[in-house]
Structure 1
Amino acid sequence: MREGYETFIMVWTKREITVSWQANWLNSGHCHIELRCDERLPVTETGYRSHFVPQGSFADEVAVAAFVTKWLDEAADDKVWQAYLVDSRQLKLF
């Protein structure tokens, strides 16, 4: 665990995501959120994403989890993500 960060695990569409967040990252007035997942997510092809939002947006882990869930749900509507899901269900010969 990194100093100054709170970390929790959440599950979104059967994907386990480690969420780390710091309320006032480097006294910048912004909250820093990091997502780590072994699988691709609609907000990152690599499974890692760093994101900043204005400080004060979140009071606790529940609020961060709600934000991340909404963020992922909205991004999952993207045509690229939907195409990825369809393609990932197909068997590949090569």
Structure 2
Amino acid sequence: MTDYGMMNYIEPLINHGPFTEEEKNYVYDWIMKNQNHNMIRWEHLQLEILKEYGKFRLRNDLKTIWNTKKRQRSRQSSVEFSLSPLNEVDESIYTL
């Protein structure tokens, strides 16, 4: 492990605990309001989380929360598309 990686575990300010639902929702809302051309300033979000919740979260942890949400949305929309009425067969064309 690199010295930088080791510092992440030694540094007492870093919160490695799970995110609360409130924190997750804050991350989602903040990104939706502040992303610019699909660019997210993770360092700004990191500081906002610290101000709002008093927790110092690693940028990588914030990215993981966001990317997990994006994957869930993608899966959900693909499932909804496959279940949409456009994909259903019109059975009336098969009846006499």
The TM-score normalised by the length of structure 1 is: 0.30
Q: What is the TM-score when the length of structure 2 is the normalising length?
A: 0.30
Compare CA radii of gyration and give the structure with the larger one: 2
Q: Which structure is higher in RCO with an 8 Å CA cutoff and minimum separation 6?
A: 2
User: Which has the larger helix fraction?
Assistant: 2
Q: Which of the pair is proportionally richer in strand? A: 1
